[in-house]
Structure 1
Amino acid sequence: MEMNGEEYTLDGAVDRHGQPAIRARTGTWVSGILILVNQGLATLAFFGVGVNLVLFLTRVLGQDNAAAANNVSKWLGTVYVFSLLGAFLSDSYWGRYKTCAIFQAVFVVGLVLLSISSSIFLLKPSGCGDEQTPCGSHSNFHINFFYFAVYLVALGNGGYQPNIATFGADQFDEEHPKEGNLKVAFFSYFYLALNLGSLFSNTVLGYFEDQGMWALGFWASTASAFLALVLFLIGTPRYRHFGPKGNPLSRFCQVLVAATRKWKAKRPQGEENLFEVDKTESSMNGDRKILHTDGFRFLDKAAIMTPKDHAEQVVFTQMASLFVEQGAAMKTRISNFDIPAAGMSSFDILSVATFIFLYRFSLDPIVAKIKSETKGLTELQRMGIGLVIAILAMVSAGLVEVWRLQDARKDCPSCVNASPLSIFWQIPQYMLIGASEVFMYVGQLEFFNGQAPDGLKSFGSALCMTSISLGNYVSDLLVTIVMKVSTKGDLPGWIPGNLNSGHLDRFFFMLAALSVVDLVIYIICAKWYKYIKFEGRNGSDDNGDDGQTEAAAEHSV
């Protein structure tokens, strides 16, 4: 669309003044690159805390391995639960830009308090907190202050993450042929930026923190988060926006209530006989409609017109914990240099970068050519491949632990967490995790963003993060159950303080077996799922078909 010689976007985006967005002056890679750099810096800050948090809990707060792993799992799970809060506020009331700015500010405040807590309260006497000199006990006030700060970090990062991914995608007009392709590519580069940001924190910051310089690492994270917020605000004049659509829960409940009240009503033949709000007057403010499907047909009863209706119309935890503890129990010294156990996750990041480019520029074009289509693997197929690779990663971790235990018990049976096996034997499991993430996480981002209604895009990204949250809480539950069962009869358990007397290998193999069960369930669900189609803004669906009437549940929701 053109007015006064200026071309406007076709997807309904507006600028910061609420006027239709001019294509040449807003969005695209100018905004996209700012958001990618913002994501990289924010991730650097977050993982500057998260990557070595398990070691901070054991060396500074004096927790045992199982308790520290559980606390990290709970913290990571809480991060992703907060993503639902951020997505709700974004889609319903604040919009994505305002939500990102507010939660990033909360993130910075949390990091400032965490840095103050560690440098002033927890690291006294100076020099404690490394592998050789663990810290002593602390007061309840100091511990509670630390947990308040670290969970404030969780709130800020959790509320920000699902919105920044969707806000970045908003900068590309999906109705425009060229920009539509760039929008798909953005998600891959977004995940690459996320991993490149964590590369610095996993290597440089991870090294300093492993040597007991926790305050330096936390203050560096704070500076990175502050710079990320400044860069985000600098891009304000250039951003494209989509306004909030109101509380979706009330509309969802309206459908359920209406369908329940009309459960005896006879459903008319043909979707065209169901009630349909005029597009320009719908509660979705003119957004695209979801075309009718045969799934959940009982909700169609909500759209049956009764006489009364004419008057009243009616959706990867082990690296941060047990992989780190396993690496810390291996040979980490090369010449005079100690490799931080958490720094091995750098190989995960390198794997992510490698497989993103391999997939986008090699595998996907080859598959598309074989299928004679413009697109290669579907999002659901990619997620399935990611699950298979994740199983292989757990098997690899288990085998490494078997070899580590054999060498440790043969070489020094009485030593604590000591093994002559090099930490570099962990490389395959980290590389496999990275490959799994490319297929699983990027596929999830595209799937949830593409399949969510226009008014619930941030919520779709939050569902992606919530699935990670569920994994963290399940990991916490599994560790608790395993330790309770395996410590019966005065046994040390599978994950004791001294890993040489435990069986961490059995835990990894158990996770591999559970992942196989998960894969079977996933395949069943994926075969059952039907991709939704949206009505195009010109009245046809996105695949060029004629417009169809959507289901009643889709109308109101």
Structure 2
Amino acid sequence: MDENAYGIPVPEFVSSTQQAGDVTVSPGSEEPSNASIEMVDQLCVMKEQQKLEYTRDGSVDFRGKPAVISRVGGHRSLAFTLGCMFLIRVAYDGVTYSLVLYLTRKLHINNSKAASVVSNWVASTTVFSLLGAIVADSYFGRYWTTLGSMFIHIIGLLILVITTVLPSLEPYKCTRSFVGCTETTGRRIQVFYLGLYIIAVGFGSFLPCFISFGADQYDEGHPVEVHQKSLYFSLLYVVISSGGLIGNSIIIYIEQNVSYKWGYSISVGFIGISLLVYVAGTPYYRFQKPRGNPVSRVIQVWVAATRKWRMKVSAPNNHLYEAPVEKAISRRLLHSNQFRFLDKAATINISLQEIDESQRNPWKLCTVTQVEEAKFLFQIAPIWLSLVVYSTLDVQILSLFVEQAATMDNRLSKFLVPPASMSIFQILGVCVCTFTYETVVVPIIRRFTGHPRGLTMLQRISVGLLLIVFSMLSAALVEMNRLRIAKDYGLHNSPTARVPLSIFWLFPQYFLVGASEAFTDAGQFEFFYDQAPEGIRGISTSLQFTAYSVGSYLSSFMIVIVTAITRHGADSGWISDKLNKGHLDYFFWLLMLLGSLNLVSYLTFTHRYKYKKVVHVQATDPQ
């Protein structure tokens, strides 16, 4: 039997001249013989099998057989993956965007501490994304790790429900004016934090595994699916934002106007439905086998290069080792001339034929592909740092933006707009900008850039970095106006008074944050998956979430430092418990300056970035 272009055995025809449908009829016969009919049936089956097109990335279906492009994966799985993400996001955002208000109004924690708690929790959520990616790539695969993380998420939400039901765990009661309330402590706050951080483990592990799993449904070696994958990342972020729209409006409204017990319980229901949707799509998925521990492979490169620090790397690169095709765990990467020190890890002083792969010590001699994986992490370090600073600005929408909205006039006719629900305008910004970019901007820009996606992935990220700066500018200007009105009406000493300024003045800053995410987040989703070598794709995808994590920690650190520096005696500083007496606008100006410097730094580094090159080889015996 021959092999097709994808390395899959296919049956041969009986002869090159015989075609299905060609039947030999004896002279004078009106019907073909039984033998001829059987041959026709056999040839039809053979021809149909030969038409099967298999993926080039080594993926398999749920039975463990090579994945057929026309049967599994691609857009066939899209409804299940995007549907699952939508439901998960409803549940998560229903907790996230109201968390700062729950901490201040139910648990009676002061504003600066509550903002730090939210930032630390969000940071912890994204830290666990790195752990989930390592577990998926090393042991269980992305499908099973995703499934397990969803169960963990449900457990965390159930604990939050329990804290709102059991009298012994409910927050201390207080007056509606929130004056002189006792901060919740002891077992009540500890159990709440336990549930909160179990959610962090579940959702954090879920994100990188699920996003990579959804991208695995598209074969980047296929001319059609490679473009479909780019569309997948854009649709993914729209779905994430749409799920947030429900969580930020309906769920939060129920929490603040009915009870948190019902809001958290409904979130549990959404997670349960998402589990059913995810499992129902199993027959339509493509699966990638775990490729080993990516962390150990990268460390091996550093150790091997350090051991050979005195060795010289030859200029022609003909003494660099690469594993045989049948032993490759993924497609080979071409050698690059960056970070030449790491090439020492793959440098050999004997011929390739003399190397016994089974006896090779990976801590002394690594493959070129393995070295290029380590180089990739060095190459994207400046980009990652830029996203850390971006996240420091972006996380304000979960804390200071909400606290700012809580002090403004939230009346809309007879309806009171929950402050946390203002993030609806952020989601509106995501949806509007994504739709406009995909349908209007891309066809126009494509004519000038010649790039099939209009902008490259890194260019798309840079647009988002610019828009977040304008968002901080808008927030600072609105806060200046709000403080002026508060002073004019003598409200600057009142901790709970609402300033007679419509909450909808916050629309521009929320919309601009959403617009920036439409460019930055969708761009980094695609960049960290597409540019990463196959062996470290999970850990690469998690890097964008660790950037958000570090950015959240940095935001928390900045709040603490700024509060300590600006507080003088009775003056409570820029971020005051009495926002009408503070100077939150100064903090927004500081963030705007930080974002501007970050954009300049990003553009300086990324113009030298070189996109990866690969050699397509199919591993027949992955280890």
Q: How far off its partner does 1:253 sit? A: 2.0
In structure 2, C-alpha distance between the alignment counterparts of 1:199 and 1:80, rounded to whole Å: 21
- Match of 2:345? 302
Of residues 460, 467, 490, the one that matches 2:540 is 460
Q: Which moved more, 1:99-108 or 1:227-236?
A: 227-236
Distance 1:112 1:348, change over 3 A: same
- 2:559 corresponds to which residue? 479
CA drift at 1:394: 0.3
Q: Which moved more, 1:110-119 or 1:68-77?
A: 110-119
Match of 2:83 among 22, 37, 58: 37
Shift of 1:415: 3.1
1:136 Cα shift? 5.3
For residues 350 and 435 of structure 2, what CA distance do their matches in structure 1 show? 59
> Which of 494, 513, 525 is equivalent to 1:415?
494
Q: Distance in 2 between matches of 1:155 and 1:68?
A: 20
Shift of 1:451: 1.0
Question: Structure 2 counterpart of 1:105, which letter?
Answer: F
1:232 aligned partner: 278
Aligned partners of 1:106 and 1:156 also within 8 Å: yes
- Residue 259 of structure 1 is aligned with which of 305, 318, 321? 305
CA 1:131–1:437 in 2, change beyond 3 Å: closer, same or farther? farther
CA distance in 1, matches of 2:559, 2:498: 22
Aligned partner letter, 1:396? S
Identity %: 39
Q: Please tell me whether the aligned partners of residues 449 and 455 of structure 2 are also in contact (alpha carbons under 8 angstroms).
A: no
> Closer, same or farther in 2 for the Cα pair 1:235/1:503, shift >3 Å?
same
Are the counterparts in 1 of residues 426 and 513 from structure 2 also a CA contact under 8 Å?
yes
1:520 aligned residue: 600
Q: 2:423 aligns with which of 332, 345, 364?
A: 345
Q: Which residue of 2 aligns with 1:469?
A: 549
User: Map of 1:1-400 to 2, 5 A cutoff?
Assistant: 1=4, 3=10, 5=49, 6-121=52-167, 124=170, 138=184, 140-211=186-257, 213-282=259-328, 285=329, 287-306=330-349, 310=355, 313=360, 314=365, 316-400=394-478
Residue type of the alignment partner of 1:415: S
Unaligned runs of 5+ in 2: 11-45, 366-376, 378-393
C-alpha displacement at 1:291, in angstroms? 1.3
Structure 1 position 24, deviation (Å):
2.8
- Measured against aligned partners, the alpha-carbon deviations of 1:190-223 in whole angstroms (never above 9, x if no partner) come to 1111000010111111122223611111111111
CA 1:434 to 1:125, structure 2 compared with 1: closer, same or farther past 3 Å?
A: closer
Q: Flag the structure with more relative contact order, 1 or 2, with Cα contacts below 8 A and sequence separation at least 6.
A: 1
**Deviation at residue 388 of structure 1 after TM alignment:** 0.8
Q: Structure 2 vs 1, CA of residues 294 and 307 (structure 1 numbering), >3 Å: closer, same or farther?
A: closer
What are the superposed Cα offsets for residues 318-358 of structure 1, whole Å, 9 maximum, x if unpaired? Answer: 11100000000000123321100011100110110011111
Shift in alpha-carbon separation, 1:356–1:261, aligned structure 2, 3 A: same
| Conservation of the 8 A alpha-carbon contact between 1:12 and 1:242 | yes
Instruction: Tell me the amino acid that sits aligned with residue 214 of structure 2.
Output: G
* Counterpart check, 1:403 vs 2:481: yes
Residues 502-528 of structure 1 show CA distances to partners (whole Å, capped at 9, x for unaligned) of: 000001110001111111221222123
Distance 1:384 1:137 in 2: 42
| Superposition TM-score, scaled by structure 1 size | 0.92
Query: Within the alignment, does 1:443 sit opposite 2:499 as a pair?
Result: no
Contact kept, 8 Å, 1:59 with 1:129, in 2: the verdict is no
Tell me if the contact between 2:109 and 2:183 (Cα under 8 Å) persists in the aligned partners.
no
The answer to whether the Cα contact below 8 Å between 2:325 and 2:617 also exists between their aligned partners in 1 is: no
Sort the Cα spacing of 1:412 and 1:122 in 2 relative to 1 into closer, same or farther, 3 A.
farther
User: Compared with structure 1, are the counterparts of its residues 122 and 341 closer, same or farther at alpha carbon in structure 2 (3 Å cutoff)?
Assistant: farther
Total equivalences in the alignment: 536
Contact 2:57 2:618 in 1 (8 A): no
- Please report the TM-score for the alignment, with normalisation by the length of structure 2: 0.82
Q: Distance in 1 between matches of 2:314 and 2:213?
A: 41
